[in-house]
Structure 1
Amino acid sequence: MAGSALGPDISAPALEGAARAEAVLGRLQLLVTRKLDGLLQGDYVGLLPGPGTEAGESREYRPGDDVRHMDWPVTARTTLPHVRRTVADRELETWLAVDLSASLDFGTAQWLKRDLVIAAATAMAHLTVRGGNRIGAVVGTGSGVPAGGRRKAAAEPPRPPNVRLPARPGRKEAQGLLRAIARTEIRPGRADLGELVDMLNRPPRRRGVAAVISDFMAPVDGWARPIRKLAVRHDVLAIEVVDPRELELPDVGVLALADPETGELHEVRTSDAKLRARYAEAAAAQRGDIARALRAAGAAHLRLRTDTDWLLDMVRFVSAQRHARTRGTTR
């Protein structure tokens, strides 16, 4: 077939991918709107309360509080250390670093990992884009060339692996941003997560919220320092997307596995109990390294799994964040 009603340059796979992206995004937006709206009753707050510019009430200091928020007059009067809470800025700027490496195009449960990435971005947009707030994103994917491989179409010009979508206010603009993320083509190769996060550090912006959405499968040394740098100026939320098969292997005999980022094929004898144990141990160590690096950077850490209710996980996370900021005696 030479072309279509939408033009000769749009292939059937591209049309199918765009239609699937629209369907997934529509379903996610409906779920988010129905189930997360009730969380925003009362004080203005989203997945992470904004840094704010107005001083609020004081409360007793707890280990882990930012010492830059110490309320020294109240501390002197009460002889107990206190910190000053802040009221979230209603003109908050939120930036998303969205990792769509080839490893995200995988899933063995209710969702693909890339669907959870889009779900997280949708929730962030829904919970932050109101009251004149702006939301933007940088999106990274593979270069189109597997590690050690060659580009399939030699005539195809190379495309930049990272794309910046400018921050704009309004729900219509946020929907356009989410649509652009959902339609992003996942290509072979590995995105440079550290470089993607560094795009949020350039140019310097006023204090706001930054969310890094990824499976964090890239080497920790490559992205830990950029996230620490980002957290110096912004409130950082790291959303880690995980599939259960990345944590443990099922006993299904000989399993042929293909690395989506390198194209390498491996046959694994999953009936070997020792191999499954080593795999689970290595996976747990990897996830532990990721959690420690994010904790050391001062980032809030939310893990979403393809085999659980991600909306419920988000609700629990928001509730925990609120509780951590409101518990204790206020004076």
Structure 2
Amino acid sequence: MVHVDAASLRALDRLQLLITRRLDGLLHGDYLGLLPGPGSEPGEAREYRPGDDVRHMDWPVTARTTVPHVRTTVADRELEAWLAVDLSPSLDFGTVNMLKRDLAINAVAAFSYLAGRGGNRVGAVVTEGGPAKAIPPRPGRAGSRSLLRTVTQMPKGTGPGDLAELLDKTRRHTRRRGLAVVISDFIDEAEWERELRRLSVRQQVLCVEILDPAELGLPDVGVLDLIDPETGEHVEVQTGNARFRARYAEAAAAQRGRIAAGIRGAGAAHLRLSTGADWLRDIATFVAERRHLAAYR
């Protein structure tokens, strides 16, 4: 375990204070868990509406009425949430305000705080580029604070991350229905989509995709010497070539499209956070939109 000095602890405290001030106003009102969505307690049946999850179809009522119905659920009053946190070396990259790794830790702070409201228990499974390690769930804001400190004290890994293994280990630790928040850049050659679908069977899943603007398009800055943080491989690229930049942007868009399709195919919610944007505002906007949509479902 890495020692965290007093300055680092003060920085974590300032981060949590910032999150509290920015997000608390959004979350006043009836308790609905972190994100509005299906709970685990069965509720009433109602007619199917376009956009409803077909996994919630109430087939007995549909058969009796000959009209498609879905079974609503009641939001859980006590939530157990798990964060699946990918801090593998591919996140040691950033060209704007911070590294992707820093943004991922900020997301851990925000979502552990959000999920820990009301005395909920929050745990995490974290990979730093090696075998994933579990942090047992603890309740409330004190538990969220302890979790954040533990994540930041974990030694940095040197090998490639294994997102599929991270998702599998998270699923094995979820003993009851609840929430799973996956924080990663999803840049992994392994087939993680299958494990994400398995995790989504019993959990409400939110995938938080961490990215940097340079991963979507290269600026024209001449010759760049790039290093793969997971393999150490060096490569020089000529960014002054417009055709090369166009091919790069096209390949990047295709990669992000595949990631989005994999998340959508698992029935998970999807939030993108960028090192070049106001990440707290993006989180607040996402949660507010989800609550607004749920109010009219």
Indicate whether the TM-score tops 0.5: yes
Aligned to 1:233: 202
Please list every run of 5 or more consecutive structure 2 residues that lacks an aligned counterpart in the other structure.
none
Aligned to 1:7: none
Match of 1:178 among 131, 135, 148: 148
Matched, 1:248 2:217: yes
Residues 156-305 of structure 1 aligned to structure 2 (within 5 Å): 161-203=131-173, 205-219=175-189, 221-305=190-274
Q: Give the share of equivalent positions with the same residue, in percent.
A: 61
Alpha-carbon contact 2:129-2:161 (below 8 Å) kept: yes
Please list every run of 5 or more consecutive structure 1 residues that lacks an aligned counterpart in the other structure.
1-9, 144-160
Shift of 1:91: 1.5
**Pair 274,21 (structure 1): closer, same or farther in 2 beyond 3 Å:** farther
- Structure 1 residues 46-101: Cα deviation after superposition (integer angstroms, max 9, x where no partner): 44236434455666533332334346798799986443433321211000110001
AA at the equivalent of 2:269: A
Residues 63-212 of structure 1 aligned to structure 2 (within 5 Å): 63-70=50-57, 81-143=68-130, 161-203=131-173, 205-212=175-182
Distance in 2, matches of 1:35 and 1:61, equals 36
Distance in 2, matches of 1:117 and 1:30, equals 17
Matched, 1:322 2:291: yes
AA at the equivalent of 1:268: V
Alpha-carbon contact 2:33-2:77 (below 8 Å) kept: no
Shift of 1:127: 1.2
Match of 2:36 among 19, 44, 49: 49
Shift of 1:177: 0.7
- Structure 1 residues 182-233: Cα deviation after superposition (integer angstroms, max 9, x where no partner): 22232222111100110012155111101110000102x5211000000011
Aligned to 2:270, the other structure's residue is in SS state: strand
**Pair 116,57 (structure 1): closer, same or farther in 2 beyond 3 Å:** farther
Q: CA RMSD in A?
A: 2.5
Matched, 1:37 2:37: no
Aligned to 1:293, the other structure's residue is in SS state: helix
AA at the equivalent of 1:195: E
**Pair 92,256 (structure 1): closer, same or farther in 2 beyond 3 Å:** same
Distance in 2, matches of 1:40 and 1:264, equals 45
For the pair shown, the structure with the greater C-alpha radius of gyration is 1
Distance in 1, matches of 2:199 and 2:67, equals 31
Matched, 1:28 2:5: no
- Structure 1 residues 235-259: Cα deviation after superposition (integer angstroms, max 9, x where no partner): 1110000000111111111111111
Distance in 2, matches of 1:169 and 1:293, equals 32
Size of the alignment, in residue pairs?
297
Alpha-carbon contact 2:82-2:174 (below 8 Å) kept: no
Alpha-carbon contact 1:22-1:182 (below 8 Å) kept: no
TM-score, scaled relative to structure 1:
0.82
Alpha-carbon contact 2:124-2:137 (below 8 Å) kept: yes
Aligned to 2:272, the other structure's residue is in SS state: strand
Distance in 2, matches of 1:50 and 1:93, equals 14
Alpha-carbon contact 2:91-2:100 (below 8 Å) kept: yes
